[in-house]
Amino acid sequence: MSASNSSSGPKPIPPTYPVAPPAGKASSGPKQVPGAPAARPQGAELLAELLQSQRQLTQVTAEARDLRAKLGRRSHQMQMLQHVSEILAATSKGGQVVSVVLDVLVQEFHCPRAVVWALEDGGSGYVPKEGFGFPRPAWSAMRLPAPNPFPDTPLVLFQSQWLDATCGEDPLQALRGPEGAPLYFIPFEHQLLLLGFVVLAMPADRRVEEEELDSIAILQRQAAISLYNAWLFRDLSEQRDALQSQTLELERVNNRLREADQLKSEFLALTSHELRTPLTGILGFTRLVMDGLYDDAEEMRSMLQDSYSSGQHLLGLLNDILDLAKIESGRMEVHPEPHSLAPLLDEVKPIAEAYPRQPAVTLEWPEVVDIPEVMVDPSRLKQVLLNLLSNALKFTKEGTVSIQVERHPGVIALLVVDTGIGVSPEAQARLFQKFAQAEGGHSREYGGTGLGLVICKHLMEMMGGTISLSSEGLGTGSTLRITIPIA
């Protein structure tokens, strides 16, 4: 075999290049079919592929950038919602709920102004609870009716939406501001009850994106549940406070009932004793006279006088009991009329001077000059004055009991001032209560039913006057003051 045939491998094929046909001679190769695309060089195809790949890469890069931005926004929204959820779960106060929600929405949408309302006033209206971007007096006046805060505008209350320019035109004018910002309505609905809502004054070029609508829907549910829980908590707290108040009031009533029952029992025992004492005296003195057990006519007259005094005392006790019964049944009557005070005091003076008193006690009487007429029932005023003088003389062992007259705008004040045993601060608080005297030991020592001051208080009030007592304590005397309207 020749050397040229010694290689066993395939021979390389030399590259072929298109050769232009000689001039004037047609090509012997395949002819181009009319209408078929012209063959492009291989380098142009590669360049076209590279350009297409670059366009695809640019598109993918932009999509990836959009996805990263959307993911970042979504991540921020999720963090924000989680943060808000933690805050709302930790609070039970509606004011804190609306404040947190308003802050979040203002920051997210960059609102120049915003107001949040909550259902209050027993469900009769929506009260603005928090505002942003303008003074408190401006947004606090934006009260809206319930259940529809915008009754003049057709509105789906439970759906977030843009408000028409005419919706709530008057109350929301300050919220729109001088630039007439568009308003966005976000309701807080729970179990078909609109518990509140927020209205945002949005920037003119701001739009609400789809992912933002999802976040708003989640925030709506969280805020509505928190407001509902706060409402329930407040209602339960009010019920608890009311129950505690009623319990305390019931305890006070029970204590007063027990005290009244005890005082009434003591009153009955004391009254029985008070009634029996003069009755025993009447019967005893009468029996002595009937049996002729006296030395002369003077001694008989003295026995009859003592019997008469006991009868008068017994009659006074019975009159007190009857007067109190009339007052409690509403049958006590007074007939105020213009009356001069001087002759009335002149009628009281001899009766008061005849009351029993200690030898060391002096009764002082005033000079009534230039005192106008007063509007009183004369008989009832005499009853009050005699009762006060009788008490003062009874509880004064030495010193004076005096009547003083003072003129004040619209009223005349009569004061019964004594230097007697005085009244402790504790006793002063209950002195005008029924049977109050029966509590202390003075009733045993001085006698009486404890009804006199109660009757005097009722009579003075029925005549348009007042009665009060002042004393610095035991052993310092006391002052009883009554006021009478000038006729």
CB-CB contact of 452 with 438 (8 Å): no
The total number of structural domains that make up the chain: 2
In a domain, 236, yes or no: no
**Domain stops at, among 158, 193, 208:** 208
In a domain, 308, yes or no: no
Among 277, 328, 273, 315, smallest CA distance to 438 is for 273
What local confidence, expressed as pLDDT, does residue 218 receive? 81
**Predicted model pTM:** 0.46
What local confidence, expressed as pLDDT, does residue 94 receive? 63
CB-CB contact of 108 with 80 (8 Å): yes
**Domain stops at, among 208, 242, 270:** 208
**Domain stops at, among 162, 179, 208:** 208
What local confidence, expressed as pLDDT, does residue 23 receive? 46
Distance, CA of 384 to CA of 376 (rounded, Å) = 11
Neighbours of 392 (CB within 10 A): 27
In a domain, 84, yes or no: no
Could you tell me the two tokens for 418?
């004594």
What local confidence, expressed as pLDDT, does residue 92 receive? 58
Q: Which ranges constitute the DSSP H helices of 110-184?
A: 136-140, 173-176
What local confidence, expressed as pLDDT, does residue 65 receive? 84
In a domain, 281, yes or no: no
Cis peptide before 147, with omega less than 30 degrees from 0?
yes
Q: Which domain holds residue 388?
A: 334-485
What local confidence, expressed as pLDDT, does residue 412 receive? 93
Q: Who contacts 237 (Cβ-Cβ below 8 Å, separation ≥6)?
A: none
What local confidence, expressed as pLDDT, does residue 126 receive? 92
**Residue carrying structure tokens 């001039």:** 23
Could you tell me the two tokens for 348?
């009281």
> Residue 111: which CATH number?
3.30.450.40
Average pLDDT per block of 10 residues along the chain, 487 residues long: 42 46 46 53 81 87 80 66 65 73 86 91 86 91 90 83 83 89 91 90 86 81 82 79 91 87 73 77 87 87 85 80 80 89 90 86 87 91 90 90 92 93 82 59 54 86 92 89 92
CB-CB contact of 414 with 481 (8 Å): yes
In a domain, 400, yes or no: yes
In a domain, 241, yes or no: no
What local confidence, expressed as pLDDT, does residue 483 receive? 94
In a domain, 45, yes or no: no
What local confidence, expressed as pLDDT, does residue 305 receive? 85
What local confidence, expressed as pLDDT, does residue 39 receive? 55
In a domain, 59, yes or no: no
> Residue 425: which CATH number?
3.30.565.10
Backbone angles phi, psi at 415, to 5 degrees: -115, 130
End-to-end CA distance of the chain: 165
The CA-CA-CA angle for residues 132, 138, 144, to 5°, reads 95
